[in-house]
Amino acid sequence: RPLKQSFLPTDYRDEVSRQVIEVMRQRMEAALKSDCHVINTSGYWSERSRNYVENLARYNGAEFIGFWLTAPEHVLEDRLDRRAHERQALVELKLELGHASDADKSILKRYPPLAFESVNWLPLNTNREPKDVMEDVVAQLRGRGLLC
């Protein structure tokens, strides 16, 4: 759907999520088989889904690095409110500004926060300026020899 078109409540059904995940899996696998890097920004709330994406990368000969983005719940709620306001005001919507999703607080409540200890990915505090978050990601990738 275009960014200015909100999802319908039915778009958040498990069946639709499974279809989206399958399309993304196919695209990730095709990119990996072509020796391309993949950045996937899905939620990966279950251990099974995290293991799956890690194994998909490794099976295709790619190194996997998982970043687990964290922020206090009130910060996430504020971001969702701001995004909804921008969408309603029909401001210029851009993927890089976080407008790709129209999730609201009900979607946030649907996925309880996971204790980081249950996730073996690298923690990334996103309760700060995006440029600072990006600097941490770049530092992690450089530290693993994945960036010049």
CB atoms within 10 A of CB 50: 20
What's the longest Cα–Cα distance across the chain? 45
CB atoms within 10 A of CB 78: 12
CA distance 135 to 15: 37
Could you tell me which of 117, 116, 83 has the C-alpha nearest to residue 3? 83
Q: How confident is the model at residue 105 (pLDDT cuts 50, 70, 90)?
A: confident
CB atoms within 10 A of CB 73: 11
CA distance 82 to 86: 6
**Which pLDDT value is given to residue 1?**
46
Question: Model's pTM, two decimal places?
Answer: 0.73
User: E strands within the chain?
Assistant: 67-70, 122-125
Q: What is the pLDDT of residues 5-17, one digit of tens each?
A: 566 667 667 787 7
CA distance 65 to 59: 14
Q: What is the pLDDT of residues 17-59, one digit of tens each?
A: 788 888 888 999 999 999 888 888 777 777 888 888 999 999 9
Q: How confident is the model at residue 104 (pLDDT cuts 50, 70, 90)?
A: confident
- Contact at 8 Å (CB) between 100 and 45? no
